[in-house]
Structure 1
């Protein structure tokens, strides 16, 4: 299963790397690809991870989530 997270507030590659590391630290997340240009992350899940957990991790990294959609 994959989910796309729309993220506001990232302004550099360091921001994208920070979000990637935070998301990949969650249990159940196998990988995260973060695009600064698209202001989004595509997260591949091994198990179901609630949207709230994904959102909280992005907030903890210092950014805002505008949407999470299953793909």
Structure 2
């Protein structure tokens, strides 16, 4: 069963930002796909099982950005 979770990332301004977030979140155990929408700040994480939200938040922070709300 595939699951998806959506987040909003703040602070991204360019393609490098998207690459950094994609790289860090892709390294979270269980994540199978990451989609980042620079225009909206949208982050969609796909995995086989639900992924720990705190791990996703930590990965985004490691990339230098922040998950807003949720």
TM-score (norm 2): 0.90
2:27 — aligned with what?
Answer: 25
Give ranges in structure 2 of 5+ residues lacking alignment.
none
Figure out how many residues of one structure are paired with residues of the other and give that number. Answer: 68
SS at match of 2:35: strand
Give ranges in structure 1 of 5+ residues lacking alignment.
none
CA RMSD of aligned residues (A): 1.0
TM-score (norm 1): 0.89
Runs of 4+ in 1 over 6 A off after TM superposition: none
1:36 — aligned with what?
Answer: 38
